[in-house]
C-alpha cells in the first residue's frame, strides 16, 4: 500500500537522517524493490515506494551517531561504548579490569578502589543501566554488576570513568542490575548464587540453609543501604515505573545445588519486591545485621507487615525463567521462559489487588524455543530472543493478554539471527521513552560470520531496524564483539553531556601549576614525594634522583587546556603507566627497587616531539 506522505515528515528531526539517506538510494534501486512482496517500505521524496530492506545504517565520515550504546564486556570486566546506528566502537570504560591505555588500576586512586573492593583483577559485567529521572535517561551515571565477585560499580558519564565500586558482602555473584524507577532512588544488585549468609564456613553442606539477597544501594553517594533475603536464587531484574515494585526471576526455587535439582520443578518464580514495605521494615529495625548490612527477611514464610501485606510476592512461572523486563508504559512485567517456550505477562497493578499473586498473570504467549530476554518498541510490540531457535520473535503484547494462555497467535514475525542470541536491546526500551527504531541483538555465537581468528571467536552484535511495522524487522549489520557482551543500554545522544577536559574541582588532588612552589621533591625517611606539572613536551623535572629501596610517590598535572592532548607518565620496569588527560592530576606510588637509569616517558602521542617528552629517574645504589 502506497500513500502520498513523506515518511520523514512524521519523524523526530533527530532521526530524520535515516529515511533521508534511503531516499538518496531510492533511485538506484527502485526497480528491484518494487517487486518485494508484502513490503510497504519507506517512501522517497517523490512518493515512490522503496523497500525498507534498504535502510542505511552507515554513518559517513565526519557524521556522528544518534545514540550511545553501552555494552557490558562480560568477563573482560569492562564496558564498551558504541555509536548507533554505525555500531562503531567509540570507547571502552574499564570497570573491574586493569587497563593500561586509560591508566586504570595504575594510579593510586583507582588502584585503591580496586583493592578496597576485593583486590581482584577481573570481573564479569552483564547489565549496564543508565540512571533515569522521571523514567527517562538523565545521562548521569551508568551502573553495572560483577557476576564474578558480587560487586556493583558506578561510572560517571561526565568523564566516562568508573568512580566507585561496592563490594556486596552477602552476594557471591551479583547478576541482575537495575535502579528503582522512576528516579533511580536505589541501585539494585541481584544476588544469583545461593550461599550461607554469612558465608563464613557454616552450613557448608546444608544447602537448605543457603540463600540469596537483593541488595539496595543509594546512587549518590554510592552506598550500600540494605539487603532482602530470599531462599531461592535470583537472576535478572527490572524495576516497575511507579517506584513500588522490583522484579527478579528465580530459576532455582528448588534450592538445589545440581543441574538436575535446579530443573526438577515445573515452575519457578518471578519474585516481586515491594520496596516501600521493605523500607518500612528497615526503618522499624525489623532486620538482622549480616556483614554490617541490614538484611530484611523476604522469604516465602516471612511475616506480613502491620497492614497484613507481604514484603515480597512469589509468582509462579514455567520452569527456569531468565529475563524479566517491564514494558515502557509500566503496565506489565514480562518474564522469558528459557526452558519453557513461553513468556509470562504479569500485570503490575494487580499485585496490589489480588490475594494470590498468580492471579496477576494476565497472559502467556508461546514464542518459540529458549526465550531469554524481551525488549520493546513503544508501539505495543515485544521482541524476545530465542536462544535455541536462533531467532528474534516479535509479538503483540495486548494480543497476548487477550489470547488464551499458551497461544502462538500474538506472534507477528520471527527473524533469524546469527547465532544463539542472549540479550536484545531496543533504543531506550528500559525507559518510558522507547524509541522504536533500532534493536541490537547480542548473539553469543558468531560461527561463520567473520574471518576465522582461531578457536576463540568474537560474538556477533546484530543491528536491526524495527521502525517499520509493515516491512518488519530489517537486519542491517553484523558487528564482531570481543568476548563477551551480555546486555546494553541504548541512550539518545542528546541526553549525555560529557566533559572533554577535566574540571580540576572534580578531582581529589590539587592542580599542580608550572609555578616553582608547586613543583618539588620532598624526602621523609625512605619515602619520596614528588609533585610536578607536565605539558608538551616535558615533565616538570628533567631529573629525579632517589635511593634504591625508596618508596616514591609522583603526583602530576597535565596543564594542557586543549582537548584531546593527553600525556601519560610511564616508567619502564616499574609497571607504572598513568594517563593524564588535559587538566587532570593523578598520583602513583612505586618502589625504586633496582639502581639504574629509567626514562620516564609519555606514552600518549601528543606532538611531533612526543618521543622527546621524557625525564630521567636516577636510582642510586644503596650504600
Ligand atoms: Cu541473559 Cu547475565 Cu542478562 Cu547473559 S544474562 S545473556
Ligand atoms: S613511533 S609516531 Cu613508535 Cu613511529 Cu609512534
Ligand atoms: Cu606527552 Cu606524548
Ligand atoms: Ca528450577
Same domain, 26 and 154: no
Ligand 1: atom nearest CA of 486 is 4
User: Over 60: is that where the pLDDT of 76 sits?
Assistant: yes
User: Over 90: is that where the pLDDT of 1 sits?
Assistant: no
Of 515, 560, 481, the closest CA to residue 92 belongs to: 481
Which of 11-25, 119-133, 415-429, 434-448 bottoms out in mean pLDDT, i.e. has the lowest?
Answer: 11-25
Q: Specify the pTM.
A: 0.91
- Per-residue pLDDT band for 16 (boundaries 50, 70, 90) equals very low
Closest ligand (CA of 603): 3
- Please tell me the distance from the alpha carbon of residue 480 to that of residue 125, in angstroms, as a whole number: 18
pLDDT recorded at residue 35: 35
Ligand 1: atom nearest CA of 175 is 2
Rounded to the nearest angstrom, the distance between the alpha carbon of 323 and the centre of ligand 1 is 8
Same domain, 276 and 386: yes
- Please tell me the distance from the alpha carbon of residue 215 to that of residue 425, in angstroms, as a whole number: 24
Ligand 3: atom nearest CA of 568 is 1
β-strand pairing of 488-492 with 381-386: unpaired
In this prediction, residues 382-387 reach a mean pLDDT of: 98
Percent of the chain topping pLDDT 90: 91
pLDDT recorded at residue 51: 41
CATH number for position 476: 2.130.10.10
User: Over 90: is that where the pLDDT of 305 sits?
Assistant: yes
β-strand pairing of 222-230 with 293-297: parallel
What are the C-alpha distances in Å from 451 to residues 448, 454, 461? Answer: 8, 9, 15
Q: Does a structural domain hold residue 61?
A: no
User: Over 70: is that where the pLDDT of 444 sits?
Assistant: yes
Choose one of 178, 236, 442 to mutate for the ligand 1 pocket test, by most ligand atoms within 8 angstroms of C-beta. Answer: 236
pLDDT recorded at residue 58: 87
Rounded to the nearest angstrom, the distance between the alpha carbon of 236 and the centre of ligand 1 is 8
Is 317 strand, coil or helix?
Answer: strand
Rounded to the nearest angstrom, the distance between the alpha carbon of 372 and the centre of ligand 2 is 47
User: Over 90: is that where the pLDDT of 41 sits?
Assistant: no
Rounded to the nearest angstrom, the distance between the alpha carbon of 609 and the centre of ligand 3 is 8
Q: Does a structural domain hold residue 2?
A: no
The closest residue, in CA terms, to atom 1 on ligand 3 is 567
Closest ligand (CA of 250): 4
Same domain, 190 and 41: no
Ligand 1: atom nearest CA of 236 is 3
Same domain, 288 and 411: yes
pLDDT recorded at residue 53: 54
pLDDT recorded at residue 55: 84
Rounded to the nearest angstrom, the distance between the alpha carbon of 269 and the centre of ligand 4 is 9
CA dihedral 226, 173, 145, 95 (to 10 degrees): 120
Rounded to the nearest angstrom, the distance between the alpha carbon of 506 and the centre of ligand 2 is 33
Same domain, 124 and 258: yes
Ligand 1: atom nearest CA of 423 is 6
The closest residue, in CA terms, to atom 5 on ligand 1 is 486
In this prediction, residues 33-60 reach a mean pLDDT of: 51
Closest ligand (CA of 565): 3
In the chain the first and final C-alpha atoms are separated, in Å, by: 91
Strand partners, 78: 94
Choose one of 146, 322, 335, 459 to mutate for the ligand 1 pocket test, by most ligand atoms within 8 angstroms of C-beta. Answer: 322
Same domain, 519 and 479: no
Rounded to the nearest angstrom, the distance between the alpha carbon of 320 and the centre of ligand 4 is 5
In this prediction, residues 592-597 reach a mean pLDDT of: 98
Ligand 3: atom nearest CA of 606 is 2
Closest ligand (CA of 604): 3
Ligand 3: atom nearest CA of 604 is 2
Q: Which helix (H) or strand (E) holds 551?
A: strand 551-558
Ligand 3: atom nearest CA of 605 is 2
In this prediction, residues 565-588 reach a mean pLDDT of: 98
Q: Does a structural domain hold residue 121?
A: yes
The closest residue, in CA terms, to atom 4 on ligand 1 is 486
Same domain, 271 and 339: yes
Query: What is the CB < 6 Å shell around ligand 1?
Result: 126-127, 175, 236, 322-323, 372-373, 422-423, 486-487
Rounded to the nearest angstrom, the distance between the alpha carbon of 497 and the centre of ligand 3 is 27
- Please tell me the distance from the alpha carbon of residue 609 to that of residue 614, in angstroms, as a whole number: 10
Query: What is the CB < 6 Å shell around ligand 3?
Result: 567, 602, 604-606, 610, 613
Same domain, 190 and 221: yes
- Please tell me the distance from the alpha carbon of residue 296 to that of residue 230, in angstroms, as a whole number: 9
Choose one of 250, 487, 489 to mutate for the ligand 1 pocket test, by most ligand atoms within 8 angstroms of C-beta. Answer: 487
pLDDT recorded at residue 4: 39
Rounded to the nearest angstrom, the distance between the alpha carbon of 87 and the centre of ligand 2 is 29
Of 593, 596, 600, 560, the closest CA to residue 577 belongs to: 600
Contact at 8 Å (CB) between 65 and 86?
yes
Q: Does a structural domain hold residue 339?
A: yes
Ligand 1: atom nearest CA of 126 is 2
What are the C-alpha distances in Å from 106 to residues 377, 401, 590? Answer: 42, 54, 10
pLDDT recorded at residue 540: 98
Averaged pLDDT score across all residues of the chain: 92
CATH number for position 564: 2.60.40.420
Out of 495, 530, 565, a domain closes at 495
Same domain, 434 and 569: no
Rounded to the nearest angstrom, the distance between the alpha carbon of 240 and the centre of ligand 2 is 53
Same domain, 489 and 510: no
Rounded to the nearest angstrom, the distance between the alpha carbon of 79 and the centre of ligand 1 is 15
User: Over 50: is that where the pLDDT of 420 sits?
Assistant: yes
Of 405, 364, 367, the closest CA to residue 388 belongs to: 367
Q: Does a structural domain hold residue 488?
A: yes
Rounded to the nearest angstrom, the distance between the alpha carbon of 73 and the centre of ligand 1 is 12
Q: Residues 155-173: pLDDT tens digits?
A: 999 999 999 999 999 999 9
Choose one of 129, 152, 422, 443 to mutate for the ligand 1 pocket test, by most ligand atoms within 8 angstroms of C-beta. Answer: 422
Q: Where are the alpha helices (DSSP H) in 94-170?
A: 108-116
Q: How many CA atoms lie less than 13 Å away from 556 in the CB half-sphere? A: 29
User: Over 60: is that where the pLDDT of 475 sits?
Assistant: yes
Same domain, 141 and 234: yes
Rounded to the nearest angstrom, the distance between the alpha carbon of 337 and the centre of ligand 1 is 13
Rounded to the nearest angstrom, the distance between the alpha carbon of 372 and the centre of ligand 1 is 8
Residue 262, Cα to own-chain centre: how many angstroms? 27
Contact at 8 Å (CB) between 105 and 98?
yes
Q: Does a structural domain hold residue 266?
A: yes
Contact at 8 Å (CB) between 216 and 287?
no
Rounded to the nearest angstrom, the distance between the alpha carbon of 560 and the centre of ligand 3 is 11
Q: Does a structural domain hold residue 309?
A: yes
User: Number of folded domains in the chain?
Assistant: 3
Closest ligand (CA of 232): 4
SS (H, E, C) 49-97: EECHHHCCCCCCCCCCCCEEEEEECECCCEEEEEEECCCCEEEEEECCC
- Please tell me the distance from the alpha carbon of residue 109 to that of residue 588, in angstroms, as a whole number: 8
Out of 495, 517, 539, a domain closes at 495
Out of 495, 524, 540, a domain closes at 495
User: Over 60: is that where the pLDDT of 23 sits?
Assistant: no
Q: Which domain holds residue 94?
A: 67-495
Specify the residue for cell string 618502589.
591
Closest ligand (CA of 560): 3
Same domain, 547 and 454: no
Closest ligand (CA of 611): 3
Q: Which helix (H) or strand (E) holds 316?
A: strand 312-318
The closest residue, in CA terms, to atom 6 on ligand 1 is 422
pLDDT recorded at residue 456: 98
Amino acid at each position: 500500500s502506497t500513500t502520498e506522505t513523506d515518511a520523514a515528515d512524521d519523524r523526530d528531526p533527530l532521526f530524520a537522517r535515516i529515511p533521508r539517506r534511503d531516499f538518496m538510494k531510492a533511485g538506484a534501486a527502485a526497480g528491484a524493490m518494487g517487486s518485494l512482496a508484502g513490503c510497504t517500505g519507506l517512501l522517497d521524496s517523490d512518493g515512490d515506494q522503496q523497500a525498507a530492506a534498504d535502510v542505511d545504517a552507515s554513518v559517513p565520515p565526519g557524521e556522528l551517531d544518534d545514540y550511545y550504546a553501552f555494552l557490558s564486556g562480560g568477563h573482560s570486566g569492562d564496558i564498551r561504548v558504541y555509536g548507533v546506528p554505525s555500531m562503531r566502537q567509540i570507547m571502552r570504560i574499564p570497570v573491574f579490569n586493569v587497563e593500561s591505555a586509560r591508566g586504570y588500576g595504575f594510579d593510586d586512586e583507582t588502584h585503591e578502589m580496586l583493592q578496597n573492593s576485593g583486590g581482584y583483577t577481573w570481573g564479569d559485567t552483564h547489565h549496564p543501566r543508565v540512571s533515569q529521572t522521571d523514567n527517562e535517561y538523565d545521562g548521569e551515571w551508568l551502573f553495572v554488576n560483577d557476576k564474578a565477585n558480587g560487586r556493583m560499580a558506578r561510572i560517571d558519564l561526565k568523564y566516562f570513568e568508573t568512580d566507585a565500586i561496592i563490594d556486596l558482602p552477602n552476594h557471591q555473584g551479583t547478576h541482575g542490575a537495575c535502579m528503582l524507577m522512576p528516579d533511580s532512588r536505589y541501585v539494585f544488585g541481584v544476588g544469583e548464587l545461593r550461599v550461607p549468609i554469612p558465608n563464613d564456613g557454616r552450613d557448608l553442606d546444608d544447602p537448605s540453609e543457603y540463600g540469596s539477597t537483593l541488595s539496595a544501594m543509594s546512587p549518590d553517594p554510592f552506598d550500600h543501604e540494605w539487603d532482602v533475603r530470599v531462599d531461592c536464587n535470583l537472576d535478572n531484574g527490572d524495576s516497575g515505573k511507579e517506584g513500588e515494585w522490583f522484579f527478579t526471576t528465580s530459576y532455582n526455587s528448588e534450592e538445589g545445588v545440581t543441574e538436575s535439582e535446579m530443573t526438577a520443578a515445573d515452575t519457578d518464580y518471578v519474585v516481586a519486591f515491594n520496596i516501600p514495605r521493605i523500607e518500612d521494615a528497615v526503618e522499624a529495625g525489623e532486620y538482622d545485621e549480616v556483614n554490617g548490612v541490614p538484611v530484611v527477611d523476604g522469604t516465602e514464610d516471612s511475616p506480613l507487615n502491620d497492614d497484613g501485606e507481604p514484603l515480597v510476592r512469589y509468582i509462579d512461572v514455567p520452569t527456569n525463567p531468565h529475563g524479566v523486563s517491564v514494558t515502557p508504559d509500566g503496565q506489565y512485567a514480562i518474564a522469558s521462559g528459557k526452558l519453557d517456550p513461553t513468556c509470562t505477562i504479569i500485570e503490575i497493578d494487580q499485585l496490589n489487588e489480588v490475594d494470590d499473586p498468580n492471579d496477576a498473570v494476565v497472559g502467556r504467549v508461546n514464542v518459540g524455543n529458549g526465550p531469554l530476554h524481551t525488549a520493546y518498541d513503544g508501539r505495543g510490540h515485544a521482541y524476545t530472543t530465542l536462544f535455541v531457535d536462533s531467532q528474534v520473535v516479535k509479538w503483540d503484547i495486548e494480543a497476548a493478554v487477550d489470547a488464551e494462555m499458551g497461544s502462538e497467535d500474538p506472534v507477528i514475525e520471527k527473524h533469524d539471527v546469527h547465532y544463539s542470541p542472549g540479550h536484545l536491546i531496543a533504543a531506550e526500551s528500559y525507559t518510558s521513552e522507547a524509541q522504536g527504531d533500532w534493536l541490537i541483538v547480542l548473539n553469543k555465537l558468531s560461527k561463520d560470520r567473520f574471518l576465522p581468528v582461531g578457536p576463540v571467536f568474537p560474538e556477533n552484535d546484530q543491528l536491526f531496524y524495527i521502525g517499520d511495522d509493515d516491512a518488519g524487522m530489517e537486519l542491517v549489520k553484523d558487528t564482531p564483539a570481543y568476548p563477551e557482551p551480555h546486555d546494553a543500554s541504548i541512550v539518545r545522544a542528546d541526553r549525555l553531556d560529557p566533559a572533554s577536559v577535566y574540571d580540576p574541582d572534580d578531582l581529589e588532588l590539587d592542580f599542580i601549576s608550572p609555578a616553582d612552589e608547586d613543583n618539588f621533591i620532598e624526602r621523609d625517611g625512605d619515602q619520596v614525594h614528588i609533585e610536578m606539572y607536565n605539558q608538551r613536551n616535558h615533565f616538570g623535572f628533567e631529573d629525579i634522583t632517589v635511593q634504591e629501596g625508596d618508596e616514591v610517590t609522583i603526583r602530576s598535572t597535565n596543564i594542557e587546556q586543549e582537548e584531546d592532548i593527553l600525556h601519560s607518565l610511564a616508567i619502564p620496569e616499574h609497571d607504572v603507566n598513568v594517563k593524564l588527560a588535559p587538566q587532570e592530576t593523578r598520583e602513583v606510588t612505586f618502589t625504586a627497587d633496582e639502581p639504574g637509569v629509567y626514562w620516564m616517558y609519555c606514552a600518549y602521542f601528543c606532538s611531533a616531539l612526543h618521543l622527546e617528552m621524557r625525564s630521567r629517574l636516577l636510582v642510586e645504589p644503596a650504600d
